Amino acid sequence: MSGRLQGKVAIVTGSGSVGPGWGNGKAISVLFAREGAKVVGADIDADAAAATQAMIRDEGGESIAVVADVSLAADVERLVAAALDAYGRIDILINNVGMAIVGGPAELDEATWDRVMAVNSKSAYLTCHHVLPVMMRQKSGAIVNNASVAVRGWAGVNYGFYAASKGAMVAMTRTMAIRHAPEGIRANCVLPGLMNTPLVHAALTRVYGEEGDIPNLIRTRDAQCPMGHMGDAWDTAYATLFLASDEAKYITATELLVDGGLSARFA
């Protein structure tokens, strides 16, 4: 039986995982391959990208891995060229790269602002800048950008810079979706809430107590969620799959919340 993405070519940025377990990009890449997509996985970490590629191939899927820092224009140009060289087209773009950081204008310096905006926002601009002309020639395409529920309000932690970077991504996605709708291109965002992923473990334990105390981080964040537990990478992956698939063919310029009801507390 054909998968939901059968014959599609998908670029997934941040396709590796920063630690053991399932990060968003790894889960998205593997799920897309299981649904029939040819996956072009990009990650700044060569070993992480290769691990995801190996998993896909071990399951009988098709994938290439590209080592790239997608906050750099030359790397993005090389990534898109590699996808076209391998498969001749690009049907789906998933912008999943991001860095989690706590603090806002009062706490963090200019260099940190520049880095957060480069990784979380500029990277999405660069990939869209190079992929959109391909999709425009094809008269079709789907872009899904991984933003955050942090754009909806205060979630108990000062995600000032992070929320600003993801808010920029949401605004760009909405306007891009309207601009390119007549060309058969859709663009949407997923807004994950509090998630239990290796990136969260690596970046945020200090916010919730002692650095490295992952059990305490999990307990604290679980308690903040209306459902009593955080989401995981597969929750993000399945939402992304829906928006990337033809099942969402009449959905564009919107945000899909994947937060277990969290944002209803501060809507």
Active site residues: 162
Count of alpha carbons within 13 angstroms of residue 156, beta-carbon side: 13
Beta bridge partners of 145: 95, 189
- Phi, psi dihedrals of residue 207, rounded to the nearest 5°: -70, -30
- Which of 75, 43, 44 is CA-nearest to residue 63? 43
Q: Are 143 and 126 in contact, with CB atoms under 8 Å apart?
A: no
Q: What is d(CA 71, CA 73) in angstroms, rounded to the nearest whole number?
A: 7
Q: Are 5 and 16 in contact, with CB atoms under 8 Å apart?
A: no
